[in-house]
Amino acid sequence: MSIPPPAIRSATPADAAGLLDIYAPIVETTAISFEARPPTLSEMTGRIETLLPTHPYLVAEAEGRPLGFAYGSQHRTRAAYARSVDVTVYVAADARRQGVGQALYRALLPALAERGFHAAFAGIALPNPGSVALHEAVGFTPVGIYREVGFKFDRWHDVGWWQRLLDG
């Protein structure tokens, strides 16, 4: 099914239910997310509220329906990491491979640079050729793999790490 081009906007706490509709099946049926159970609506709302003051949190929508979301979050707690940021993008199952992820990143990455972030990092549970292709299409390059770092669905999963410099 073809979707219209998405509009990208800042998330609000009122988006939590729609974003949870996208995210919950990913948690429940894949190793893309290492969460054991989907967050509650209250938890999802809290996540949005917690990140918005310090990091962009974006929603892609078409015809009033959320198609995906992306955000930046703290990379590590030590002061020297303050200008590094982890990035995350999730797209609704029926909207994948239609440019939604790229549209989100094309808005998120400049917004992060405007806030003074220098380097963005993306962790991708492997194998995930679609996510690898998305990240490389928007300028991320591989930096390494954490072998057997996550245990979900009774087996170990590797996580590959990709990086993109934002201000250079």
94-147 residue pLDDT tens? 999 999 999 999 999 999 999 999 999 999 999 999 999 999 999 999 999 999
- Quick one: pLDDT at residue 4? 79
Closest CA relative to residue 97, chosen from 142, 67, 124: 67
Q: pTM for this structure?
A: 0.95
Give the separation between CA 142 and CA 111, rounded to whole angstroms: 22
Q: What is the DSSP string of 117-149?
A: --EEEEEEEES-HHHHHHHHHTT-EEEEEEEEE
pLDDT at 129: 97
Give the relative orientation of helices 41-51 and 16-29 as an angle to the nearest 10 degrees: 110
Using alpha carbons, select from 61, 73, 64 the residue that is nearest to residue 120.
73
pLDDT in tens, 33-61: 999 999 999 999 999 999 999 999 999 99
* Architecture of the CATH domain 7-165: 3-Layer(aba) Sandwich (3.40)
The pair of structure tokens assigned to 105 is 């990143």
The pLDDT score that the predictor gives to residue 168 is: 58
Query: What are the residue boundaries of the structural domains of the chain, listed by start?
Result: 7-165
In this predicted model, what pLDDT tens digit does every residue of 64-92 receive, in sequence order? 999 999 999 999 999 999 999 999 999 99
Q: What is the pLDDT of residue 2?
A: 76
